[in-house]
Chain A
Amino acid sequence: MDIIVCIKRVPETAEAEIKVDPNGKDIVKDTLNFDINEADNYALEEAVLLKEKFGGKITLISVGEEECEHILRMGLARGADDAIRITDEKFSELDGFATAQILYSVIKDIHFDIIFTGCIATDDGYSQVGPTLAELLGIPHATLVTSIEVKGGIARVHRELEAGLLEAVDIKLPALFAVQTGINKPRYASLIAIRRAASKELKVLSSKDIGLEEPRRKIKIESLFVPPVTKRAEIIEGSPPEAAAKLAEIIKEKGLL
């Protein structure tokens, strides 16, 4: 079973302080740590689990500059066989559609049974690339995948709906799955695998190589800004029953009920 896993290098922002850079359209990145997008890491592990069961080859693809070679190598150390990096100076300010186009230009010539992506990136969070790529390739897809079992060319997947509910869906291969975090427990790379991956050749392709001059962007970021911050709790007045009633309404309005 040949599998392609699309991975993205993102800044680790959960614990860090994020500042908007002077141009107002990006963030200050030089104090941030970067790593593979969390959901993509789960996607890679899912691919390795399937490879262990069915055999085949795993190819990693990432769109980015030289820094993203690190996540490609770590991916090789975790069980992928090949890694491709697609790059070009013209590829700045990509949106989801443009990214999917670039991936499509390379993937359309590779044999695959399954493409895995993460279902959301922790930086921009569009959840767009997976289904867009599937559509360009003309293959079916499913997102928010929390489990996958393959038998006879059909994948039975569970998709995460709201409030803990799941739905079971059968998808015919070849197909694309955008996986949710928590689908498995990503393994650690062994030391021997790290040694091998450190010296492996990565394939690097530019826009000329893939025949895509100018990927099309359909949306753009006008500005980034800090969301307005409330400094103090809104105190709800009234007698206990009154205040409680108001509070209950607020909880409901937030869709938390």
Chain B
Amino acid sequence: MKIFVLVEHRQGKVRDITYELLTVGRELAEKFNGEVTALLFGGVDEKIDRLKKNAHHIILVEDEKLKNFNAELYQKALVPILKDEKSYIMLIGHTAFGIDLAPALATELDVPISTDCVGIQIEDDNFITIRQMYGGKLNAKVSFCEPGRYIITARQAAFPAKDGNLDGKVISMPSPVGEIDYRKFIEYVEPPIEGVDITKADIIVAVGRGIKDKDNIPMVEELANALGGVLACSRPIVDAGWLPKERQVGSSGKTVKPKLYIAIGISGAFQHLVGMKGAETVIAINKDPNAPIFNEADYGIVDDLFKVVPVLKEKIQELKKG
């Protein structure tokens, strides 16, 4: 059983999902006595030492046409590599890359595909993928109806990345793709900067009564900025006139469903919880260990927010740089 991993890269850099896939790939390779081959199309601008640590082989197809992602061309490059293989798992990220490429690839190769997986298991020689359904309210065990070849797209950050200690051999392959006129990558477009709509933010840092004074709010806003997120708050802050109503999360404010919600100095009265219950990951910082917010949070720090927040901001900035 061969394990193939499509290296996802953008603007010259390998994206994190690649290393997550390679980690899963190596685990599967161990189970099946196989080896992991990373497929790098177009090339990157950085050293590929880390890729070499994480794969047994790296097939490198250098081609200007493949430097920027193009689903049609990537499919054309993958098919010759895979079409004669009888036993393999092809791992692709469930990303803007994979969503575009993988189902079409699976159709051309006539291979079953399970998308957006958050888990992979072996049960009695059967491959089981774990997927979320109904907005994450339920999980499903999904199996393949035809054995031997599988394509799996994995959700970003669902599988932890752990570096291996392999010494991947690079095999250069000539590009099998010619020019096409039906799909052309034109350019990247940066997002425009607009006014604040906290319901659209992926990361929200919300401040509550515990902040005690209006002049302490900038400290929390700096944390929000460091995370690339948006400042929000609970009712008392709006009542005091310290932040505008549009920043309020709660039953008489806005309902938000961000990927990350950090509640700082917020006790967690149900009127507030109702507005942020849908957040994927909730972190609470409050010096009261019995604050109800800790029942809604995934992680918590029971301590003085004035001591924790500044230092948390620094740590975040450090990690972002590194």
Binding site for B on A (CB under 8 A): 11, 13-14, 18, 20, 27, 96-97, 100, 119, 122-132, 134-136, 140-144, 156, 158-162, 164-172, 175, 217-227, 230-236, 240-241, 243-245, 247-257
Contacts and interface: CB of A to CB of B under 8 A. Distances in A.
Interface string B247-274: 0000000000001100000000000000
B212 to A, nearest CB: 17
A158 B299 CA distance: 37
B143 A249 contact: no
A136 B101 CA distance: 14
Contact of B156 (A136, A164, A165, A255): A255
Given A131-B103, A132-B106, 12 more contacts: A127-B99, A129-B103, A131-B101, A142-B100, A159-B100, A161-B10, A167-B185, A170-B184, A233-B298, A240-B303, A244-B314, A247-B283
Contacts of A226: 137-139
Contacts of A252: 319
A257 B181 CA distance: 38
Interface stretch (B23-31, B52-60, B108-116, B168-176): B108-116
Contact of B138 (A97, A227, A245): A227
Contact of B294 (A156, A219, A233): A233
B188 A165 contact: yes
Nearest to B300: A233
B170 to A, nearest CB: 27
Interface of B: 10, 15-16, 68-72, 94-96, 99-104, 106-108, 112-116, 128, 131-146, 156-157, 160, 181-191, 202-203, 227, 259-260, 281-284, 289, 294-304, 307-308, 311-312, 314-316, 318-320
24 contacts: A13-B137, A14-B135, A119-B99, A125-B133, A141-B104, A142-B183, A144-B96, A144-B99, A167-B96, A167-B188, A167-B189, A170-B184, A220-B145, A221-B140, A225-B138, A227-B137, A233-B297, A234-B298, A235-B299, A236-B299, A244-B314, A247-B315, A251-B283, A251-B316
B304 A256 contact: no
Nearest to A256: B260
Main secondary structure of the interface of B (DSSP, over half): mixed
A236 B299 CA distance: 7
Q: Which of B70, B116, B137 has the most CB of A within 10 A?
A: B137
Given A161-B10, A227-B132, A251-B227, A218 B112 contact: yes
Contacts of B189: 158, 165-168
Contact of B103 (A132, A161, A249, A250): A132
A253 B108 CA distance: 35
Contact of B113 (A124, A166, A219): A219
Contacts of B136: 227
A254 B142 contact: no
A159 B299 CA distance: 34
Contacts of A162: 15, 95-96, 156
Contacts of A236: 299-301
Contact of A234 (B116, B128, B300): B300
Contacts, number: 245
A255 B157 contact: yes
B186 A156 contact: yes
Contacts of B298: 230, 233-234
Contacts of A13: 134-135, 137
Contacts of A243: 301, 303, 308
A222 B114 CA distance: 13
A170 B183 CA distance: 6
Contacts of A11: 134
Given A135-B103, A256-B281, A221 B141 contact: yes
Contacts of A255: 16, 156-157
- 3 shortest interchain CB distances as A-B pairs: A255-B157, A218-B112, A248-B315
Nearest to A218: B112
A128 B113 contact: yes
B191 A166 contact: yes
A227 B184 contact: no
B72 A140 contact: yes
B108 to A, nearest CB: 6
A219 B114 contact: yes
B184 A244 contact: no
A18 B134 CA distance: 8
Nearest to B93: A162
Given A243-B301, A248-B315, A255-B16, A222 B143 contact: yes
Nearest to B17: A255
